[in-house]
Amino acid sequence: MEKYRDNFKTYLKDLGAKKPSPGGGSAAALSACIGISLIEKAINYSAKDRKFLKEIRLLNSLRNKALICVDSDGEIFEKVMQSKGKKRLFFLSKSNALVVDLGNICVRVSCLAKKVESGIKKSIISDFYTGLNFIRVSLKACIYNLKDNSRILGKPERSINVFKRHLKAGV
């Protein structure tokens, strides 16, 4: 099935190239989008009589927000790399804010997933858990990114501990 492969070729080539963008933040956002979509698929297959309509709408909204981060992360990081001094710190702070937003999306998705988990059909549960694992990967990537940025900014990001606690609690 070449239907999707061609759409990802350029992105994956650029992700592996020696250039600043796309990078880990963009990949984390894409991972979140994949996770959200798999969780949504599991809910759609499991829902009876539009039972989870509210949750599906929320997942769709969160996926759209994460999808914006796929490109925004790289755009901001390019500005970080091109800037110096206070301007560089400004763009790094913007990058941090974007990563915190992505981490918060992951937390919201995992909380919603836990809420609906018992209603997921066994025949599709593997997609559901695979989706949750993509969300975990994205959240871990957010933590790594925030740690790196914190070293440069000289101040710890409070969200790191929140995200770590959430992972430890079993996203």
Q: Domain ranges in the chain? A: 21-168
Mean pLDDT of 104-126: 95
Q: Using CA atoms, how far apart are residues 156 and 148, in angstroms rounded to an integer? A: 10
Q: Whole-structure pTM over 0.75, yes or no? A: yes
Task: Quick: pLDDT tens for 8-42.
Answer: 888 999 999 988 788 899 999 999 999 999 999 99
- CATH code assigned to 21-168: 1.20.120.680
What is the share, in percent, of the chain residues with pLDDT greater than 70?
98
Where residue 49 falls among pLDDT bands split at 50, 70, 90? low
